[in-house]
Amino acid sequence: MSPDMVVHHGVEALKMVLLLSMPMLLTALVVGVLISLFQAVTQIQEQTLTFVPKIIAVFLVLVLSASWLIETMVNYTQGVFASISTLIH
What's the mean pLDDT in 2-29?
Answer: 93
What are the residue boundaries of the structural domains of the chain, listed by start?
A: 3-87
CA–CA separation, 83 vs 13, rounded Å?
Answer: 14
CA–CA separation, 24 vs 68, rounded Å?
Answer: 13
How many residues in total does the chain contain? 89
CA–CA separation, 65 vs 75, rounded Å?
Answer: 15
Q: Tell me the average pLDDT of the chain.
A: 91
What's the mean pLDDT in 28-37?
Answer: 94
What pLDDT does residue 48 have? Answer: 79
58-77 residue pLDDT tens: 999 999 999 999 999 999 99
What pLDDT does residue 22 have? Answer: 96
43, 20 Cβ separation under 8 angstroms: no
DSSP 44: -
What pLDDT does residue 89 have? Answer: 64
